[in-house]
Chains A and B, each alone.
Chain A
Amino acid sequence: MKNLYLILFVSILIIGCDNNLDIEPTDSLTPETLLEDPDNLDRLLLGAYSFADDQYAGEFQTVSELLANESNLAYRGTFAQFFEFERKEVITTNVFIRLLWANAYRSINLCNIVLENLELAQDPDQRAQLEGEAKFMRGLLYFEMVRYFALPYEAAGNNTQPGLPIIFDAVTDLSQISYPARASLEEVYTQLISDLQVANALLPPDNGFRADAYAAQAMLARVYLQQGNYAAARDAAHEVLENSGHFLVPDLASAFNNENDGIEDIFAWQVTTQDGVNDFNTYWATIEFGGRSQTADVTVEAPFFDLFTEPDDRSGFFYLGNGTTVSSKWQGQFANAPYIRVAEMHLIRAESNFREGTNLGLAPETEINALRARSNANPIIGLTLQDILEERQRELAFEGHRFHDAKRLLETIDGLPYDAPNLVMPIPQDDIDTNPNLEQNPGYNN
């Protein structure tokens, strides 16, 4: 009898165990749950901003400066793969190039998810803003990428050279995976301009730290300049300068190292002590200010100062590293990373006016001298195009423009012609290995 009870008891133990195989994660949402709430679309955009922040809060400006470098800068850091940029011998497995590509498409997918689900947002203002920001971000990312991964845009050509895969469809499910080929350069530019134009039309004039209508307009000015479409560049820059409410701060130092966007910042990448990393600071500041090394990884060398023949605040905006010269633009470890400053809009409008022979807004000479005055530099009398281009180098030094300017101006870099294969970055080997439809750029074999 006793045994019978026991058998009953243990049988209960065996079958009575809680069969709990359904455990839900506590830190992630499925697409179904995520897309129940329209506010989550806005959060997907913040995700997209955050990945873009990884590349454009200083890292790719640094890459751009090293690619353009002849002797103005020295790379003293320890990342072997940064040396590849400095030597113009980038290999297909370069990790920075891989992240440039991977994170851009990561953000683009988040934007595409937003665009595919806009109908979730009932409020038309919210919907407009979501669409505007998603397209701003997508346009910006295609523009950033295409300048590295494709042969230069030829103002006179039909630009059929391979551009980038253009992706419109969101991927949230295995069945949506695609193996796209590269669209032509012209198609990429058409798409990104269209994105930025829609963004410009839909976004509000002021949008806090996020992209507003003028950030999109300013991006367009940049794009048109790169295309050599000076009239459009001039008009876009003019529009920004007239209406955005942003203007030059009175002194050079105030334009940089700001923890909140300054009045000169049309768009900046946000950095806080908790998220975002200011990579300008990482690579261009000494360890004392949050950089990677005693000397700063990227230092400014004597030939740079040949740009300055007269007193100019910008020639003294430096400090000493361990026997090296370091730019003062990037001393703030937790400062936002400027992306489009008003100064750039002035330079674009002045250059475009000059090339077009117009005086929209301001005469080029007046505009350039106004900019110079902020740095206590003497005015230039009898302004030439060369003066404007040099002014660009003085004002926008170490901000990532030099490489792209050299390409649009058809200049040689370190003895290489502007369209040399070595100056076009390889499509990351990972995607060449996984996507048979993807064509590698010339000069990259393995």
Chain B
Amino acid sequence: MDKSIRYALIFTLLLFGKSALAQSRTISGTVKDSFYRPLFGVNILVEGTNQGTITDLSGFYQIQLTSGEALIFSYVGFNSQRIVIGSNSTIDVTLQPGNNLEEVIVVGYGTSTREELTDNIASLRAEQIKEIPVPSVQGALVGKAAGVQVTQTGGRAESGFKIRVRGVATINGDQEPLYVIDGIPIDKVDRSANSSPINSLVGLNPEDIASIEILKDASAAAIYGSRGTNGVVLITTKSGSSGETRFSFRSSYGLSEASNKLEWLNTNEYVELYTEAALNSGFTEDDAAFFFNLFSENEEDWRNGEVDTDWQDLALVSGSIHDISFSASGGDEKTTFFLSTGYNRTEGIIRGNSLERYSLRANIDHRANEWLTIGLNSNASKTQISRIANDNEFANPIGAIAQIPFSKPYLEDGITPNTETTLYYNFLMDQFNGDHKSNVWRAFMKLYGEVAFTKNFNFRSELGYDYNNQLEERFYGSLTEYASTNGFADALSFINEKYVINNYFNYQHFGNDWQLEATLGMSYEENKFKSLSIEGQDFPSDQLRKLDSAGEITGGFTSETAFSFVSYFARASATLFNNWLLKASVRVDGSSRFGSEVKYGTFPAASIGWLASEAPFLKDNKTLSNLKLRASWGLTGNANIGNFASRTQFVTRNYNQNPGFWLAALGDPNLSWEETKQVNFGLDLGFINNRVNTSMDYYIKDTEGALFLVPIPYTNGIRFVNQNAADIVNTGFEFTLDTKNIITEDFSWSTSLNIAINNNEVKALPDGADIVREEKIVREGEPVASFYIPEYAGVDPDNGDALFYRNTELPDGSLDRTTTADFAEASRRILGNPFPNVIAGMTNNLQYKGIDFSFVFQGQWGAQFYNAGGIYQSSNADFFDNQTRDQLNRWQQQGDITNVPQARLFGGNGTQQSSRYLEDADFIRLRNLTLGYTLPKDVSENLGLDRIRVYFTGVNLLIFTDFKGWDPESTWDFRQRNSLFSGTGFYSPPQARTYTLGFNVDF
């Protein structure tokens, strides 16, 4: 790049004489920021004159010159740039931010800057999310934004993410934020065939992303109205800028493994514990031997410990990640482009799990003439996934830890999995004699046209299309669980299509010490989903795995569902006296989902900010370089309530291959969105020329009519009624601190810290009545989905009985803290909650000459985790499932003080669901660490390249926690959509730990 500037200078010098003679001429060009986004309102002044202009919304400017030799480009907060006028009539400029206040922030139907912002929006740049070797973009957000909890469901390569913005504001409604890519809301519903979610963004190559904004407070999110409550994630993809075509090649390769493994009994320990358990339950040693023989090929296998299988090692294997992407960007004064292609191959850490993604992107912007700009963003991808059973199935590889160590994994031939003497079905057989593959084809398309009526009044029309097609095929051969039917296969295919039309006007006006910006528009969205499924059995050969070979087709269906939104929105923001910032917006949403009585909702918001540091009394203060006070209020909704949830529905259910009907849902014609009022107060401070920046936000997020499957007695013939029934309040405090600790020419060190505190409380329920489901309760005054279980009281030292606190309420209101060995006598109590009170993240970036080093810590405090599999895994040898090694500390004789009851085979001694399996889930994790080296410029230029960088990245390298399970963040996949079941795990695999080496080349 330097070269071209040098040439430009030489040309300028050569042409100097000529230009003095020149007549009036026109210079035009585009001004963009370093993320290739057009900058609007950039001041352009011909040096030494008072002649000037400003850029329009697309960053375009045009200026007539009669004299002058240079242009000065200035824009609040960006470093001004002086460009000498050469022979070119096109001058495109990229402005570099002077400090982070001028960072451009995407806000939904427009942009803003950090300085003008009165809302709470977390903003991440490509630099902050690149090079993190996870197949999905959400993985890069972990620990980066205050109040945004990002959790991977488990260790599967394709597994979904949960993103919770400022706590949970619903019970049964969807809790995920709205995802908007380049202005188009996308389909984010997981439709995996086996309830283990496939990440809805799996088709998006993280390398294509220029920035991610997370709209957190209501004032920011209210522009998305009935879908703003859970926050809005705005993803902006890269675009090109005119000039030399730039190429970039990135490649990385890494190895991965389970971030944690647990200790299980080996053969000798197992035989010892289970012999004891059998004797304690009135069996003899011969009985025990009989049992053991059922699960071993030869008696010596267990008696002499000749077979000692580590089933966990068979399930959790080493994986790898290979990622390659290539992009080209550039253009001329009329047309700019960004083209990219990417390939990712992830071999999962769980045997049988892998993912392969191919992606293509073309983003093109074209200035047709002085008043019309058109463009296209397009992305097509294909993802192939080798899948494994969900957490709840016996074929789940993690379930293998229940197998007995003296059962052999394979038969004599060493290849065929042993299903003859294993306690449970051997998952290896599903992979040996079956298939489970999923293909996801995804395309995001956006076509837009922008018409400039005048310099500061324009109209933009966007047509978006999101195509999501999935085909999931499973085959189980004649040796699997489907032996009795000579195999079984099914295939599920669906297509989800979403059309979005956005039309909006933007108007800007600049006065002397004030400016006004206004947006007015509408949006229409229609989503159609169609699915098709077929299943069959009786296959003539294990080689013939498609359903055309099935002897009998035993099932199939097609189905269809749809929803639509019609929305109108308006927003106005003003800056007065350069230091007062005002904003107001309103959105009206209508949706086919809402009940017949409530088709439309209105969602207003307003905010105000005061830039005190611009006020006369602070303007020249050297220490306090920025002081801004913010306040906002807004109303948002959560419309993820199901497409037809407001209706009473009878659906078919067959009996003996005749169609029958049943009552599947009892509708409420008043059913509508959940409504959240959110107030936010914020303070931004910058010290020492903004070397130290800090923000503090306090919010109250008050949700009324939280969507809730209100349980009614089964005697009504139906279990739940979908109603807007609960009120939930989240209050919280967010703190961020960004410091540039050291800045010298050779060495720099910056730190970014975020801490968020959130308190979740159920404020009101219908009739104030508790809602209990399984181990969870929703009760007024308590966090949503608190753990509600009998309290384990340890072990009776006299007889080894498991004890529970009675916890019945005494007449004086206190609890009966005496203990009982009879589980039925123990009352349930609230003993924890699944949502952390505190989440935090810290990022450090260090740079020494060409070497860069960064690391991210993430942590959470105050949440509990319930291991629903504990009753099998740590049950003092209640059943034959292999046990965690801590069960060896069982009570053995009178006087033993321990927490593990006496081992009793089939004895049910403390193996009920109780607080015995509840744990604190506090942790601090070293989420990410990167060490990179950028080759000196002369070296890369000698190679004909602009930039060469090599790096090492590690993910999930360390965790500091007292948690005893695999991973305090891995929860059961098959229930993760329902917040009621948050914080519960069931054979849920840990996340991957990954070590990656990579290099980037730009030329």
Contact = CB atoms under 8 A, between A and B. Distances in A.
Nearest first, the 6 A-B pairs at minimum CB distance are A109-B717, A46-B660, A28-B649, A270-B656, A47-B660, A290-B484
A23 interface: yes
B848 interface: no
Interface in B635-659: 643-644, 647-659
Give the size range of B's interface with the partner.
Answer: 35 or more
A431 interface: yes
B975 interface: no
Interface string A89-102: 10111000010011
Contact of A91 (B484, B599, B808, B824): B824
Nearest to B828: A446
20 contacts: A10-B459, A13-B501, A20-B564, A23-B563, A28-B664, A43-B659, A44-B661, A87-B908, A93-B774, A109-B663, A167-B715, A172-B663, A273-B485, A275-B657, A322-B294, A322-B421, A433-B771, A434-B713, A444-B824, A446-B790
B473 to A, nearest CB: 20
Interface string A320-360: 00111000000001000000000000000000000000000
B485 A333 contact: yes
A435 interface: yes
B262 to A, nearest CB: 20
Interface stretch (A49-57, A250-258, A303-311, A394-402): A49-57
A180 B484 contact: no
A361 interface: no
Given A40-B661, A83-B879, A172-B666, 14 more contacts: A6-B453, A14-B522, A17-B501, A25-B649, A27-B561, A29-B649, A93-B774, A177-B712, A178-B713, A180-B713, A293-B424, A323-B290, A323-B294, A430-B719
B420 A105 contact: no
| A28, A209, A288, A289: residue with the most chain B Cβ atoms closer than 10 Å | A28
Contacts of A275: 654-657
A288 B420 CA distance: 11
Interface in A51-102: 51, 53, 78, 80, 83-84, 86-87, 89, 91-93, 98, 101-102
A102 B714 contact: yes
A262 to B, nearest CB: 15
Contact of A21 (B394, B419, B560, B564): B564
A106 B718 contact: yes
A25 B643 contact: yes
| A7, A49, A78: residue with the most chain B Cβ atoms closer than 10 Å | A78
A274 interface: yes
Interface of B: 290, 293-294, 371, 394, 419-425, 451, 453-454, 459, 461, 481, 483-485, 501, 503, 505, 521-522, 524, 526, 537, 552, 554-555, 559-564, 566, 590-592, 599, 643-644, 647-668, 711-719, 721, 769-774, 790, 808, 823-828, 871-872, 878-879, 881, 906, 908, 911-913
Contact of A7 (B420, B453, B665, B908): B453
A215 interface: no
A87 B871 contact: no
Interface in A173-222: 173-174, 176-180, 209
Contacts of A293: 424
Contact of A28 (B483, B644, B769, B878): B644
A122 interface: no
A26 interface: yes
Given A31-B650, A50-B655, A177-B721, A110 B663 contact: yes
A394 B62 CA distance: 100
Contacts of A431: 713-715
A51 B662 CA distance: 9
Contacts of B711: 430, 433-434
A338 to B, nearest CB: 15
Nearest to A106: B717
A10 B555 CA distance: 50
A330 to B, nearest CB: 12
Nearest to A50: B655
A43 B566 contact: no
Interface in A270-294: 270, 272-276, 287-291, 293-294
Nearest to B717: A109
Contacts of B563: 23
Nearest to B461: A13
B468 to A, nearest CB: 19
Contacts of A22: 592
Contacts of B662: 44, 47-48, 50-51, 106, 110
Contacts of A132: none
A86 B827 contact: no
Contact of A47 (B653, B657, B721): B653
B715 A27 contact: no
B657 A21 contact: no
Interface in A101-127: 101-102, 105-110, 112-113
B823 A91 contact: yes
A419 B864 CA distance: 41
Contacts of A6: 451, 453, 459
A245 interface: no
A387 B187 CA distance: 69
B881 to A, nearest CB: 8
Contacts of B651: 27-29
Given A26-B561, A30-B650, A46-B658, A171 B717 contact: yes
A165 interface: yes
A428 B664 CA distance: 21
B824 A174 contact: no
A1 B5 CA distance: 42
A376 interface: no
Contacts of A273: 485, 537, 552, 554
B522 A17 contact: yes
Interface in A149-187: 165, 167, 171-174, 176-180
B877 to A, nearest CB: 13
B252 to A, nearest CB: 43
Contacts of A178: 713, 715-716
A106 to B, nearest CB: 5
A327 to B, nearest CB: 16
B627 to A, nearest CB: 41
